[in-house]
Amino acid sequence: MLKFPIYLDNNATTPMDPRVLEAMIPYFTEHFGNAASRNHPFGWEAEEAVDYAREQVAALIGADPKEIIFTSGATEGDNLGIKGVYEMYASKGNHIITATTEHKAVLDTCKHIEKLGGEVTYLEVKEDGLINLAELEAAIRPTTILVAIMYANNEIGVVQPIKEIATITKKHGVLFFTDGVQAVGKIPVDVIKDGIDIMAFTAHKMYGPKGIGALYVRRKNPRVKVTAQMDGGGHERGMRSGTLNVPGIVGFGKACELARLEMADDAARLSKLRDKLETALLQIEESYVNGNREHRLPHVANISFKHVEGEGLLMGFNKNIALSSGSACTSASLEPSYVLKALGLGDDLAHSSLRFGLGRFTTEEQIDYTIEQITNTVNKLREMSPLWEMYKEGIDLNSIEWAHH
Amino acid sequence: MAYSEKVIDHYSNPKNVGTLDKGSKNVGTGLVGAPECGDVMRLQIQVDDATGVITDAKFKTFGCGSAIASSSLATEWLKGKTVDQAMAIDNMDLVEELNLPPVKIHCSVLAEDAIKAAINDYRVKNGLEELVFEEKGVH
């Protein structure tokens, strides 16, 4: 029996795995100590739990536990990683390179740095969503201190050429920061093999709790330091003050352990389901996949259905299926997704897109239902769409003078 | 964002979806909006020459649920009205009837624009001068 609503928005957040919750519960009530309390068993217990979780988190990404700085989540990690490098390495330079398809937590941090007097280059992406490595290398200046390119994109799921980027940054003696939010726990991420210097990631995108994340900060070859963005008790090797969120950290650790053990099976199963979904939806006339299909997360698909508006499409089934769209009909600006636009998609196709994020608890039955619902709704809305009618009559929509409002 | 019952009803069972013969002298067609903005409405009226009464109205809309509902409701209201009465339909009447939230008011404005564009198309076809309407400026 299908249970509604079906959740296919796992790029936004994931449900917590019950095994994670189970691990966390004792740390709310019984073992409630402050991990910084050095003089009694409550503190010792908490510290021990944090140390263990730190090992679990580090193991998932091939890091040393000492390289894990706990944060409140990836937005904080992005801020701390980028602003922290900008301040710490001010004597070396003030130039940062990023890309236009980054998450707002990176883009807005970079804009903030520009206000402080820093210089930022925003690389355009190719139409498949990947950056151009030659452009990246050409953008490096003597004053460049950091390259900030995400591991995998949250809207289209494309996976950037991380190893190749790291080779370039290493060659030029520039640090490499990556927002690993969508990739960590979903595909193998190894900070040593990948050559990553700093990486932000978070628990709630990998079946852990909200409000806890981590920043990986490399300690060897090179030894990296970031300037703290919050002043206080000097926790987390002085880079992030604040009493540790022990239950959250314990949950994060458990989530990382489960991801390390189950990632390969999850990915294999989900890529099959994703491919089934995608193949079926591409049977619909005038439907297109956005982003590179080869270098992509196994559980993500972003598809545009021409001449149907995304929000209107969602309304056809959003009581039963939770999805998101690149359409921004609800936003005051009426601007569609900047990520899709960066791929060179027209605004009309960006408005017509749906983002599918499958997850650990997605079933084949749910995918079958989703295929049926979306196909029916697209067909129904096209019957109602003046654009579809014109397209069918062979009218070139670009030849019409639209009244832009 | 939750939709009102009425928006959901018009979205699920839209009234008067379809196409009238835009070449006909007593059909007025209004096509407003732009694909880039995420909504395009085409609204058509068929007018009885003798009485000036709108005998039929049809729409097709590319847009969100509120845009579809606004145009569906507009066609319902247009039928049986004279062209003069139709000109008095105000977007805020649609907002009120459909309980549209502030971010969706532009959908109702678009529907009002579509009505006016259809009326003007009909007028021009019948040798009458085009009416100039006040800009709502909500977009």
Domain ranges of chain B: 5-125
- Shared-domain flag, residues A350 and A232: no
Q: For B57-100, how does the pLDDT look when each residue is reduced to its tens digit (9 = 90+)?
A: 999 999 999 999 999 999 999 999 999 999 999 999 999 999 99
Q: Give the least confident one: A56-70, A99-113, A150-164, B122-136.
A: B122-136
- Shared-domain flag, residues A247 and A338: no
User: Which residue of B39, B64, B71, B100 to mutate against A (max A Cβ within 10 Å)?
Assistant: B64
Sheet of B54-62: strand order equals: B27-34, B39-47, B54-62
- Shared-domain flag, residues A115 and A182: yes
The partner residue sitting opposite A312, judged by closest CB among B32, B33, B64, is B64
Mean pLDDT of chain B: 93
Residues of A whose CB is below 8 A from B42:
386
Tell me, yes or no, if B107 is annotated catalytic: yes
Q: Do A315 and B139 touch (CB under 8 A)?
A: no
| Cβ-contact A17, A255 below 8 angstroms | yes
Q: Within a domain: residue A398?
A: no
ipTM value for the complex = 0.93
**Residue B28 touches chain A, beta carbons under 8 Å:** no
- Shared-domain flag, residues A207 and A354: no
- Shared-domain flag, residues A139 and A170: yes
- Shared-domain flag, residues A353 and A205: no
Q: Do A397 and B35 touch (CB under 8 A)?
A: yes
Considering its fold, how many domains does chain A have in total? Answer: 2
Q: How far apart are CA A273 and CA A367, in angstroms?
A: 7
Q: Is the peptide bond before A222 cis (omega within 30 degrees of 0)?
A: yes
Could you give the residue ranges of the DSSP H alpha helices within A140-241? 162-171, 191-194
- Shared-domain flag, residues A227 and A292: no
Q: What's the CATH code of the domain at A309?
A: 3.90.1150.10
- Shared-domain flag, residues A206 and A297: no
Per the structure, the complete domain to which residue A82 belongs is given by 18-259
Interfacial residues of A (vs B; Cβ cutoff 8 Å): 307-312, 315-316, 327-332, 334, 336, 346-348, 351, 383-389, 397, 400, 402-405
Residues of A whose CB is below 8 A from B32:
403
Band the pLDDT of B1: cuts 50, 70, 90.
Answer: low
Q: For A173-182, how does the pLDDT look when each residue is reduced to its tens digit (9 = 90+)?
A: 999 999 999 9
| Coil/strand/helix, residue A171 | helix
Catalytic residue among B107, B110, B117, B118: B107
- Shared-domain flag, residues A323 and A243: no
Torsion angle of the four alpha carbons B45, B48, B51, B53, in this order, in degrees rounded to the nearest 10: -30
- Shared-domain flag, residues A164 and A269: no
User: Does position B138 have pLDDT exceeding 70, yes or no?
Assistant: no
Question: Backbone phi, then psi, for A321, in 5-degree steps?
Answer: -130, 125
Q: Which CATH number fits domain B5-125: 1.10.3720.10, 3.90.1010.10, 1.10.357.10, 3.40.50.720?
A: 3.90.1010.10
**Residue B65 touches chain A, beta carbons under 8 Å:** yes
Q: Do A329 and B34 touch (CB under 8 A)?
A: no
Q: How far apart are CA A405 and CA A269, in angstroms?
A: 45
Q: Which stretch of DSSP H or E encloses residue A96? A: strand A95-99
Q: Which pTM was predicted?
A: 0.93
Q: How far apart are CA A176 and CA A98, in angstroms?
A: 10
User: What pLDDT is stored for residue B137 in this prediction?
Assistant: 54
- Shared-domain flag, residues A76 and A136: yes
Q: Within a domain: residue A61?
A: yes
Q: Do B35 and A405 touch (CB under 8 A)?
A: no
Band the pLDDT of B135: cuts 50, 70, 90.
Answer: low
Q: Give the least confident one: A128-132, A211-215, A308-312, A378-382.
A: A308-312
Residues of B whose CB is below 8 A from A384:
14, 17, 60-61, 68
- Shared-domain flag, residues A320 and A209: no
Structure tokens at A366: 């749910």
Q: Within a domain: residue A404?
A: no
